[in-house]
Amino acid sequence: MQLLDRPTPSAIVNNAAAQKISGVNQKTYARLKMSLRLNLRRQIFLAVCDDLELRNHLVANLQAELAPRFVSLNLNLSDPNPMAQVTQWLAQWGQALEYDQPAPAIGFQVLGVEHLTRQPASVQRRFLTHLQAIEYYLPALECTVLLWLPRPWLRSVRQSAPTFWDWHTALFEFEGDPTPVRSFFNPSLVSSPKIEHRDSQIAIAPPALQATPTRLNGRHIQPLSGKPTDQVIIPIELDDNAFLRHTVEEKSLWEVLTQDSDLVKPDADSASMLEPPDGISSSQVPAPPQVSETVSLIQPVVAPPEQPDVIRCEQPIPAGVSQLQRLILEAIAEDDSATHRTGWQQVQQIEQLHQQGAPQQALAASYYTLARGYRESLEQGDVSGHTLAIAIAAHQETLAWLDHYAALGADVANDLGNLYWMQSRSAVEADVQLASLEQAIQAYHLALTKSDPQTTPQTYAMIQNNLGSAYGDLAQYREPAENLQKSVLAYETALRYRTYEDDPARYAATQNNLGTACWNLAQHQQPVPRLQQAIAAYQSALQFYTPEQEPMAYAMIQNNLGTAYWNLAQYIKPSRTQNRTDSEESPEHLLQLAIAAYHNALTYRTLEAAPAAFAATQNNLGTAYWDCSNLPATSPEQRRKLVQQAISAYEATIAAVDQLSAQNGYRPPLTFDVFATYNNLGLSYYQLACDRHTNLKPAQRLSYLEKALDHHLQALQGWEAQSDFHQLTLGYVVQTLRGFYTECGIQGQTVGLSKIPAQLLPEIMAKL
C-alpha cells in the first residue's frame, strides 16, 4: 500500500494565487467584499494575509470589483499614518468636486504594512502611535477603511495599539494553501517571495521507501512503497526585529543603510554619517531620486521622466562596464522596467563614488540601497532570472564593503543565502540548481561566522534554521544521509537559541522542520530512534499550532504526525495475540495513533476548504486502515470493518481528485500518486471478495471482484508499460482474474476476462 503526500515540481508551478481563492478563503473574501460594498461611515476593517501573492490577488480583485469608488493607498513609510493619508485624500478629492455636488461614498484599502519590518524601530513605533490616536481621526472618517496586515503585525497592533484594536469593526483572516508551498517560485508557498530574513520552512521531498511484504489471506502481496505527507508548509514569516539587532558601534552606519533612498531623502544627520573623512565633500555624493509614496489606483499616475542616459535594448552593451552594470543593461534589454531604470541610475552613482574615492561606509550604503531595491522587487513578485542575478550581485558587493561590520554582515549574508536558495529552486538545469544550493550553504555559514549566538540568539537561530533547510534540499542531490544529518544538527542548534517562550511561532516552525528532517533521515539510518525524534518534534510544534489559532497548520502537522506514527509501526514486530495491542511499542497502538492524527487533520482539511489536502490525508488514512486490518492479532470481524474503512477513505480520495479535475478541466498536480490509490482500492475490494469469514452471496463477491479489477485496470493506465508499478499491478490483475474463477467458477472468469483490454490479453493469458 502507498502512503504518499509530498510536493512535486508540477504541483508547485501550478499553485497560483488564483487557485487559492477557494474554500475558506473564498468565503472570507465574499464576506469582506460584502462588508466593503455597504460603504458605511467610520468602519475599520482588518485583513490578515501572510502570502503576498495571494494578498495581491485579493487586492486586485477588490479594486476591480468595487471600482470606481474604492481607492488603494500605499502606506507612506516616512510617516506611516494610514488614517491621515485617508483623510488627506478625502480632503483633496472634496476640493475637486463641484460646490453643490454630493460626495459619493468611498472605501479605502491601505497596503504596505509589511515593509515597516525593514524600517528603524522609531518608524515602527510611530506607526503604532498613529493607530493608537484613532479617536482623533474618527470625526472626519466618512468612509470605510480596510488595513492589510501580515500576522506578526496583527499581534503588534493588538498589543501596542489597544484603542485602535477596540475601534476596529471586523477582522478577516485569509489562510495560505495547505499543500507544501515554495513561495519564491510560483511557488506558494508559492506566492510572492518574502526574501528578507527568510526564516525558511522548506518542503523536503522524501525518497521512496523500500516496500515490506504483507500477507493477505495466505497470498503473498507486495504493497506499494509508503511516503510521508505535506512536509513543512508553515508560511515564511518576516523577522520583525531582525533589522534592529545591531551593536551601538554600528548604529550610525546601520541608520544610513536602513534608509530607503528611493523613497525618503536622508536628513542632515543621516547624511553626515557618510561624511568622508578624507576631505570629499558630501555634496559630491549624488542625491537619490524621490518618488511619491501614496498612489491612488483610481487617479492617473504620473509617469516618471524619461532617462536619457539609460541604454535601450537596441543598443549594444559597451565594453568596460562593471558586472552589476552589465547585468542591469542585459535586464533592460529584455525588460525596460522602472526597477531596472532605477537600478541603472543607482549603479552609475556608485561608479561615481568609486571614481571620487568615497569611503567604505558610503559605498556600503549605496550597494545596500541597490540590493534592497531589487530584493523588494522580488518580494512584489518579479522573480525573473535577471532580477535575481542583480540582487545576488548587489548583496555580494554589499558584503565586500561591510567587512568590518559583523552584525550587519550576518543579515546581508543570510539574505544572500536566501537569494541563492531561491535560485536553486527556480533554475531549470540541475547543475545550476546544485551550484546555487551549495552557494546558499556557503552564505549561511558565512552569516554564522558574523553572528554571535550569545548577543544575537534570534538571528543565529534563524540562520541555523535556514541552513537546515538548505542541507535538506542538498540531500536530494547527493549524499542524502550525510546532508540530512547536517540538516537535523542545524535545526537542533537553532532550537537551543529559539525557545517557545521567546518566539513560539518560529519555535514551532523549526520543530516541524526538525520532524521532517528526522523522518527523511529515518529512511537511511536509525529508523526507530529518528522516527521517535520526528514524533517528538511534531508534538512540540503542536504546542503552538492549535486549531483555534492556526487550523490549517495544525491540520498539516497532525498529518505529518500521523505519517511518522505509521512509518514507525512498520519497524515494530507485530504481536499475534491481542495482549500487546495497548502497548506503546506495538504496531497496533502506533497505527491507531496514526489514524487518530489523520482524523484530527481531516476535521479542518475538509473537501470544501482544501480539496487537494483533503484527498492526500484521506489517502494516508486509507493506508493506515489497510495496514491495521492486516495485523496478525486483528480478528476477522475487525479486519472486515477496517478494510471497509480503508475503501471509504480511498474512494473519498478519488472523489476529491475527480472534483478537482472537473473544476480545472484537467487533473491538477497532486502530492500523491492517485494511480497508486486506484491500485490500493483494488486490493481492498479483492480482500473483501476473498474473505472466507464472511457469508457473502456469490453475486456480492462477483461485484467486489469486478470493482477490484476495474481499479487495477485504472491504475495500469497511469503507469508506463515497462515501469515496476505497471508490472506489479499487472500481477494484481492476474491475481484478481484467478479470484473470479475461485469464487465464481468459469462463468465468473468469463466476466473478468471480458473486462480486459485487447492489447493486454496476450500478456495476461500467458501469466494465467
Predicted confidence (pLDDT) per residue in 557-572, tens digit: 999 999 999 999 999 8
Helix (H) or strand (E) holding 147: strand 144-149
Mean pLDDT over residues 601-616, rounded? Answer: 94
Task: Tell me the pLDDT band of 438, cut-offs 50, 70 and 90.
Answer: very high
Report the distance separating Cα 4 and Cα 563, nearest Å: 9
Nearest to 204 by CA among 399, 605, 395, 473: 473
More confident residue, 748 or 395: 395
Torsion of CA 622, 624, 626, 627, to 10 degrees: 160
In the prediction, which pLDDT does 761 show?
A: 87
Query: Cell triple for residue 486?
Result: 547536517
Report the distance separating Cα 226 and Cα 211, nearest Å: 7
In the prediction, which pLDDT does 264 show?
A: 24
Task: Tell me the pLDDT band of 22, cut-offs 50, 70 and 90.
Answer: low
Rg (CA), the chain: 30
Query: Cell triple for residue 257?
Result: 543603510
Mean pLDDT in the chain? 76
Report the distance separating Cα 106 and Cα 144, nearest Å: 7
Is the pLDDT confidence value at 104 over 60?
yes
- Most confident option among 36-50, 114-128, 306-320: 36-50
Buried b (16+ CB within 10 A) or exposed e, 69-102: ebbbbbbbbeebbbbbbbbebbeeeeeeeeeeee
In the prediction, which pLDDT does 532 show?
A: 96
- Return the SS3 of 107: strand
In the prediction, which pLDDT does 740 show?
A: 86
In the prediction, which pLDDT does 210 show?
A: 26
Among 141-145, 211-215, 628-632, 743-747, the range scoring the smallest mean pLDDT is 211-215
Mean pLDDT over residues 702-719, rounded? Answer: 91
Is the pLDDT confidence value at 495 over 50?
yes
**Most distant CA pair in the chain, distance:** 103
**What is the number of alpha carbons within 13 Å of residue 309 lying toward its C-beta?**
9
**What is the number of alpha carbons within 13 Å of residue 446 lying toward its C-beta?**
22
Buried b (16+ CB within 10 A) or exposed e, 135-151: eebeeebbbbbbbbbbb
Q: Which residue has the cell 549605496?
A: 366
More confident residue, 548 or 235: 548
Task: Tell me the pLDDT band of 425, cut-offs 50, 70 and 90.
Answer: confident
Is the pLDDT confidence value at 541 over 50?
yes
Task: Tell me the pLDDT band of 234, cut-offs 50, 70 and 90.
Answer: very low
Q: State phi, psi for 728 to the nearest 5 degrees.
A: -65, -45
Mean pLDDT over residues 683-707, rounded? Answer: 90
Q: Which residue has the cell 472486515?
A: 640
In what side-by-side order are the strands of the sheet with 107-111?
70-74, 107-111, 144-149, 43-48, 170-173
Query: Cell triple for residue 672?
Result: 500523491
Mean pLDDT over residues 464-477, rounded? Answer: 95
Is the pLDDT confidence value at 296 over 70?
no
Q: State phi, psi for 149 to the nearest 5 degrees.
A: -135, 145
Is the pLDDT confidence value at 281 over 50?
no
Count of Cβ atoms closer than 10 Å to residue 421 Cβ: 26
Is the pLDDT confidence value at 166 over 70?
yes
Work out the end-to-end distance of the chain between its first and last CA atoms, rounded to an integer number of angstroms. Answer: 24
More confident residue, 229 or 626: 626
Nearest to 653 by CA among 625, 628, 678, 630: 678
Is the pLDDT confidence value at 662 over 60?
yes
Q: Which residue has the cell 491475481?
A: 735
- Most confident option among 186-195, 579-588, 717-726: 717-726
For each of the domains in the chain, give its residue range(s) and CATH number, in order of start. Answer: 10-173 (3.40.50), 246-292+317-455 (no CATH), 673-691+705-768 (no CATH)
Handedness of CA 571, 577, 579, 581 (dihedral sign): positive
Nearest to 233 by CA among 198, 174, 190: 190
Task: Check: pTM over 0.75? Answer yes or no.
Answer: no
Cβ–Cβ < 8 Å for 674, 711: no
Q: State phi, psi for 439 to the nearest 5 degrees.
A: -70, -35
**What is the number of alpha carbons within 13 Å of residue 301 lying toward its C-beta?**
12
In the prediction, which pLDDT does 318 show?
A: 45
Task: Tell me the pLDDT band of 641, cut-offs 50, 70 and 90.
Answer: very high
Report the distance separating Cα 424 and Cα 417, nearest Å: 10
Is the pLDDT confidence value at 664 over 50?
yes
Report the distance separating Cα 624 and Cα 628, nearest Å: 6
- The C-alpha angle 385, 389, 393, rounded to 5 degrees, equals 175
Provide CB contacts within 8 A for 360, sequence distance 6+.
401, 404
More confident residue, 443 or 24: 443
Mean pLDDT over residues 248-259, rounded? Answer: 29
Is the pLDDT confidence value at 519 over 80?
yes
pLDDT digits 0-9 by tens, 576-601: 655 544 556 799 999 999 999 999 99
In the prediction, which pLDDT does 101 show?
A: 52
Query: Cell triple for residue 744?
Result: 465464481
Mean pLDDT over residues 42-52, rounded? Answer: 89
Is the pLDDT confidence value at 195 over 60?
no
Task: Tell me the pLDDT band of 681, cut-offs 50, 70 and 90.
Answer: very high
DSSP-H helix ranges across 38-150: 52-66, 82-96, 121-132, 134-137
Helix (H) or strand (E) holding 555: helix 551-569
Is the pLDDT confidence value at 609 over 80?
yes
Query: Cell triple for residue 266?
Result: 536622508
